[in-house]
Homo-oligomer: A and B are copies of this chain.
Amino acid sequence: MSILAVGSIAFDTIKTPFGEANDIVGGALTHFSVSASFFTDVNLVGVVGDDFGEEQMRVFAGRPIDLAGVERAAGKTFRWGGEYSHNLNNRETLFTELNVFESYRPSLPESHKNPDIVYLGNIHPGLQLEVINQVESRRLVGLDSMNLWIETTPDDLRQVLRHVDVLKLDDSEVRQLSGQYNLRKAAASIGEMGPAMLVATRGAHGSLLFNGQDVFAAPTYPLEVDEVDPTGAGDSFAGGFFGYLAQNPVIDDAVLRRAAVFGNVMGSFCVEDFGTRRLQRLQWDEILERFHKVKELTHFEDLET
């Protein structure tokens, strides 16, 4: 079982009330793949510049992450800078430099054309479509997007959504895409666009999973330590979610619910340090321990009748 994942690999510069990090390796695909690598093999499709050297590549080292589909182009790697306000809920983008991403056209190695799961990370929906069009067979397609594409490239997004089984957005993006405030109605409306399953993430408040009539609410684990940097939490969520799905030959409601919990667990670890630092030193036992803590966190006994 493996995941084919496309998205951005980047240098991130991040300021939070707890400190800052300059030019650390980030990007949605990086966070996704490091997180998913705890669960499954991940084949990356993306692009880096000639400033992305051996040191940067170490972020993927020692993990079941295949870099054969990562192109090295002349020029600089995608760069993003952002600053978080005191409550970490508001993020201001300080700069975005597309660099090598500007002219990037994804090209899949032959070995990557028959994956188990395809994960189309948050990039221009036109590029997502180019990837899915090169895939010859797959079991399930997941997609992430954002307000920018919902606003500026709605037709491209609608086109790629027809191929998608599981859509992952935050709740405000779900409302924006569907035009529905009520999330049940939004899920039904998005189902008509293609994706039968919807995961609405809500930052520190957990996530809601919709699969037809089945609805599941997964809370975020309340951290013992301070939240340091929210960057990549949603991508780490997706890594845990789709990574766990890849482990399971049959995807039913029980598997989807556990996948949402694993997603939240991975997101909760991500925010404990800058970039992928926390996930780099994370152990599988810690993931299992937090999975069980989330079970305790949400358990309540039925009424004695």
Question: A residues near B, CB below 8 A?
Answer: 86-88, 172, 175, 181-184, 202, 205-206, 208, 215-220, 222-227, 254, 257-258, 260-261, 288, 291-292, 295, 297-303
- Residue of B with least CB distance to A255: B301
Chain B residue numbers with a CB within 8 Å of A297 are 215-217
Closest residue of chain B to A301 (Cβ to Cβ) is: B254
Residues of B contacting A226 with CB < 8 Å?
A: 181-182
- Whether A261 lies near B300 (C-beta < 8 A) is yes
Measured CB to CB, the closest approach of chain B to A174, in angstroms, equals 12
A258 touches B303 (CB 8 A): yes
Cα(A299)–Cα(B302), bound, Å: 12
Q: Are A298 and B254 in contact (CB under 8 A)?
A: no
Q: Given the interface contacts A205-B202, A208-B222, does A300 sit within 8 Å of B216 by beta carbon?
A: yes
A215–B206 contact, CB under 8 A? no
Q: In whole angstroms, what is the CA distance A174 to B25 when docked? A: 35
Q: How far is the CA of A62 from the CA of B292 in the complex (A)?
A: 45
Which B-chain residue is minimally distant from A200 (CB atoms)? B222
A225: B residues at CB distance < 8 A:
182
Greatest chain B CB density within 10 A among A223, A260, A291, A298 is at A298
For the complex formed, measure the closest distance between the CB of A222 and the CB atoms of chain B, giving whole angstroms: 5
Q: Which residues of B contact A219 (CB under 8 A)?
A: 206, 217, 219, 298
From the candidates B87, B218, B295, name the one contacting A181 in the complex (CB within 8 A). B87
Chain B residues, Cβ within 8 Å of A172: 87
Q: Quickly give the copy total for this chain.
A: 2
Q: Residues of B contacting A202 with CB < 8 Å?
A: 205
22 chain-A/chain-B pairs, Cβ below 8 angstroms: A87-B175, A87-B181, A181-B227, A182-B225, A202-B205, A205-B205, A205-B206, A215-B222, A215-B297, A217-B219, A217-B220, A218-B298, A218-B300, A219-B219, A219-B298, A254-B300, A257-B299, A258-B300, A260-B300, A295-B300, A295-B302, A298-B298
Smallest beta-carbon distance A134→chain B, Å: 35
Q: What is the minimal beta-carbon distance from A219 to any residue of chain B, in angstroms? A: 4
10 A-B pairs with least C-beta separation = A217-B219, A205-B205, A257-B300, A298-B298, A217-B297, A254-B301, A182-B226, A183-B222, A258-B300, A184-B222
What residues of B have a CB within 8 angstroms of the CB of A87 in the complex?
172, 175, 181
Cα distance, A225 to B217, chains bound together (Å): 18
A227 to B184, CA, bound (A): 12
Report the bound CA distance from A299 to B217 in whole Å.
Answer: 9
Report the Cα distance A222→B209, complex, angstroms: 11
Judge whether B182 and A227 touch: CB under 8 Å: yes
CB closest residue in chain B, given A298: B298
CB-CB under 8 A from A301, the residues of chain B are 254, 257-258
Do B223 and A184 have beta carbons less than 8 Å apart?
A: yes
Contacts of A182 in B (CB 8 A): 223, 225-227
